[in-house]
Structure 1
Amino acid sequence: MVCGRAIMKSNAQMIFFFGLLAGSFLTGLASDRFGRKRTMMVSTTIYVLAATVIAWTPSYVVYVLLTFSVGFFAVGNFMPVFVIGMEFVGPPYRRIAGVVSGFEWAAGNIILAGLGYLIRDWKTLQLACALPGVLFQLWWKYFPESPRWLYTRGRLADCESVIRSAAKWNKRELPAGFFNKVFKETPPTKTERIWHLFTNRALRIRTLTIFFCWFAVCLSYYGLALNIGNIGGDMFLNFFLQALMDIPATIITLVLLDRTGRKPLQVASFLIGGVGCLATMFTIMYGKEDYQTVTTVLAMLGKVGASMGFSMVYVYSAELFPTVVRNAGMGSCSAVARVGGMLAPFIADLNRLVGGSFGPALPQLVFGSLTVVGGFLSLLLPETCNRRLPETIQEAIDFGKESDETGEKEVELKTEKEVYENKAFEDSNLNTKL
């Protein structure tokens, strides 16, 4: 895919992100309807098969079709796991459940950089990346369903069974009358769908703001990775450094998430990422090779901000969406983000259309500007730190209102009177710890 056929590479990358887009929306709906666990397992199986078979594709058409399938089911492989992790824990532990996967993502990218350097045959590299996924098939039956999802579906017996299994695993005894307290309210019987997020003005603005933030940070994150060859220096080293930047970004996010709150940290991460991208324009345009080290440092700063922003939108969005549409909401966010991912390879290739010194700097201008706008728009979102997750659309509407903030002031669980030992299932709505 060189010379006159170079556009085929960008088209293949676009089709992959289109698969992510379609999968984000449809697997999100499936997860809310049929369960997080079932959606994840079906997606994982097909994902591994498609990723393996792609190494033997006989033509470009078959290649892009399988690439679409990999993208489609990759979301169904990851998003339900993330949502289960967020729904399984109480407010003090959501930052860990939501951010810790960043280390796994960074490790995967670092390993990929090494494999890409050592294995230059793309088919062998594809198999080396795909075949370890077979191990996922060995543990699926031990993976629990989300107790929150079971509760909202009225499956109280299954919900109780999952919680009892978790308590047994943690070697904790449930307090007497615990489930009477947990199930004191009847689960909502009204069926609520993702489009109900647009029936209220405040909720509509909030949802659209979240969508834009996902679009901007995904465009910036993947755009920086795809634009790695345009900033100069060794491509493999730059990719390795960008992957490495995910680790400090994840650590910073994990340390500051509860200290600063969700909103300030998201705003800061978007602004850092945007300013880092914009600053590289000047060294690319005027510094040339003499300032290659400065360009690389600024690009890495942009990557740190983009990585922090990506971690933040996952946690922040999952806390803002109500349980009844949380996976569909997260899937819709991911779908909007993939529009940014689809545009990223073409924006990264703008230097082929625009000549002179401005050409290589133009992608950085687009990535940086949109990220900065996303940072300022994040100021419109309500704070979620140490507050219980909304369960219904109405609770999501009330979330962030002045009356809601004064009546339920960022619950500090350590001051509660009724405290039990196991913090894993802590929830301020229950006033209890198992």
Structure 2
Amino acid sequence: MDLEEAYQVVGEFGPYQKRAIAGLVLIQVYMACQSMLIVLVGAVPQYQVEQKDGGSSGQPELQSVSFTDDVDSIVTEWFLIKQQAYKVNLAGSLFFAGVLVGNVVFGPLSDKIGRKPVFLTGLFFEVLFGYATALAPSYEVFAVSRLLVGLMNGGIGLVCFVLTQEYVGKSYWAMTGTLTNMTFAVGIALFAALGYYIRPWRDLATAANSPGILFFLLCVTLPESPRWLYSRGQTERAEEVLRYMALRNGKTVTNLTLRRVGTGKPGNRDDRGTGVLQLVTHPVLRWRTMVLMYVWYACSLVYYGLTLGASETSGSRYVNVAMYGLVELPAYPLCIYFINKHWAGRRKSMASFLCLAGSACLCTTLVPENTGALLSVTSLALLGKLMVSAAFNIVYVYTSELYPTVIRNAGLGVCSMSCRVGGILAPFVPSMRALHSSMPFTVFCLSGLTAGCLGLLLPETLNRPAAETLEELSNPACSRVLESKVHLYKDDQWKSNHK
């Protein structure tokens, strides 16, 4: 039988898969805390610089710095003010630079040697480097530790997302992917609450990092992805994992034999060429990757650009950080509803949300500054962020379905790399106000609209079987045969259940 048929027998989302997915989804809370750590530990309090006479003539004046706010951060410990103030932003940039590299390195690595070993190794070292952050004796050690934490965070984030989908049947991919992204947003709000009650920055860094130990211990017992094993030609091991899932799901499986594929055979062309290079040389993958890279870039540019604009408000920094995550939550029920409807699907939903985000940014250029709270630049910017958050969630799920299993992590890694480029450029867009006050939102508008239109050129993946090998992607006949088998099997199951 085919892999999708096997999941129908084993259980697409049985009790065992629910427990495994719950652990992987909750890891997003830990990863969100690491991503947002610099926002609170790098808080800059109000301060005063007093000039003091050096005493005798010829000596330079001494400066005394006094912080007027009761804040314990890396700024107050290492006096990162004035000429040293750039070091706070540098630490944040180093983290996201590490995330970018981790996206590129860990994706192909997990496609080559397996999901589980790469994921557990990355999680172990992220926890280790996280404690190095909390115990850093100097700024230099702190900055290097943030780079290394970002490297691990970016890598395991991709592998964790892929595992939440490869453990279940394809019909549940949208749900597990949405839960993963939604939990990350909740993690941002929880980190704000943690920071409110734990003020010393070293204690906060330790508390935010410690749950990683628990998650590591929980994930040690997870099996390797049966989809990855199957795509690499390790059919016997894939069958063992599927039987184990069936047993834990309370199902008795007497005859579970997967159809042998040629991916793992020596001399197979697809096996030798699997990797990042295939994203360039394979004609189908090359086109999809080019479009997806721009879509990911635009999502990141608009998302982080609007976030920076919406967060420029007075008030408690903890409330602002919490709103940074909570404003995204309404987007996820919208995603789950639309992407599973046959008249919308992945492609149209993603394109529509991107165009709506661009339209909201366009409207901000037409609304006067001093308007009511219901219709203002801030409310339209938040509406745009809500829309682009929905698009961002869909593009994660959609991308994983557009790439075959043998190269899925490599594809996600390259797309995430372009995503980080958009995030790096986003802070520079507001400076375009020097040219015209409407320029930043014009950039976000054009980015959202063009990405939405380009996304319509991609194929729909709703209710279609996931490709496991490059051969299935290149040969439409293989996909049609697999799809017809899955539909026939589902019809037989429906008839047997309604007799």
Q: Name the TM-score, length of structure 2 as normaliser.
A: 0.74
For 1:178, the equivalent position in structure 2 comes to 256
8 Å CA contact 2:305–2:427 kept in 1: the answer is: yes
Deviations 1:81-127 (A, max 9, x none): 22122223333222112211123112101112333444454333322
Q: Quick one: distance in 2 between partners of 1:35 and 1:42?
A: 11
Q: Quick one: distance in 1 between partners of 2:485 and 2:442?
A: 41
Query: Secondary structure, in 3 states, of the residue corresponding to 2:447?
Result: helix
Q: Tell me the CA shift for residue 148 of structure 1.
A: 1.2
Deviations 1:247-294 (A, max 9, x none): 2111111121110211011001111222233433455xx415865972
Query: Secondary structure, in 3 states, of the residue corresponding to 1:37?
Result: helix
Q: Quick one: distance in 1 between partners of 2:469 and 2:283?
A: 16
Query: Secondary structure, in 3 states, of the residue corresponding to 1:330?
Result: helix
Which stretch of structure 1 is more off in the superposition, 339-348 or 209-218?
A: 339-348
Cα distance, 1:170–1:13 mapped onto 2, change above 3 Å: same
For 1:30, the equivalent position in structure 2 comes to 109
Structure 1: 5+ residue stretches without partners: 424-434
Query: Secondary structure, in 3 states, of the residue corresponding to 2:245?
Result: helix
Cα distance, 1:203–1:334 mapped onto 2, change above 3 Å: same
Q: Name the TM-score, length of structure 1 as normaliser.
A: 0.84
Q: Tell me the CA shift for residue 356 of structure 1.
A: 9.0
For 2:120, the equivalent position in structure 1 comes to 41
Q: Quick one: distance in 1 between partners of 2:485 and 2:259?
A: 21
Q: Quick one: distance in 1 between partners of 2:473 and 2:136?
A: 47
Give the letter for the 1:321 counterpart: Y
- Which of residues 438, 444, 455 in structure 2 aligns to 1:367? 444
* Aligned residue pair count: 409
Q: Quick one: distance in 2 between partners of 1:75 and 1:420?
A: 42
Give the letter for the 1:343 counterpart: L
Q: Say if 2:157 is the partner of 1:78.
A: yes
Q: Quick one: distance in 1 between partners of 2:183 and 2:458?
A: 28
For 2:351, the equivalent position in structure 1 comes to 267
Q: Tell me the CA shift for residue 204 of structure 1.
A: 1.5
Q: Quick one: distance in 2 between partners of 1:9 and 1:282?
A: 36
- Cα RMSD after superposing both structures: 3.0
Q: Quick one: distance in 1 between partners of 2:484 and 2:205?
A: 47
Cα distance, 1:386–1:411 mapped onto 2, change above 3 Å: farther
Q: Quick one: distance in 2 between partners of 1:139 and 1:324?
A: 26
Matches within 5 A, 1:155-234: 155-174=234-253, 176-179=254-257, 182-189=258-265, 190=268, 191=271, 192-230=274-312
8 Å CA contact 1:223–1:345 kept in 2: the answer is: yes
Q: Tell me the CA shift for residue 417 of structure 1.
A: 4.2
For 1:325, the equivalent position in structure 2 comes to 407
Matches within 5 A, 1:29-428: 29-174=108-253, 176-179=254-257, 182-189=258-265, 190=268, 191=271, 192-230=274-312, 236-259=318-341, 260-283=344-367, 286-288=368-370, 294-348=376-430, 350=431, 354-355=433-434, 358=437, 362-398=439-475, 413=487, 416-419=490-493
Q: Tell me the CA shift for residue 11 of structure 1.
A: 2.9
Deviations 1:182-219 (A, max 9, x none): 22444443322221122244432211101111111122
Cα distance, 1:16–1:329 mapped onto 2, change above 3 Å: same
Structure 2: 5+ residue stretches without partners: 1-79
For 1:13, the equivalent position in structure 2 comes to 92
Q: Tell me the CA shift for residue 34 of structure 1.
A: 1.2
Please tell me whether Structure 1 or Structure 2 has the larger radius of gyration of its CA atoms: 2
Query: Secondary structure, in 3 states, of the residue corresponding to 2:328?
Result: helix
For 2:41, the equivalent position in structure 1 comes to none
Cα distance, 1:252–1:177 mapped onto 2, change above 3 Å: same
Give the letter for the 1:255 counterpart: Y
Give the letter for the 1:183 counterpart: R
Deviations 1:343-389 (A, max 9, x none): 233435x27xx55982xx54444333322221111011000001111
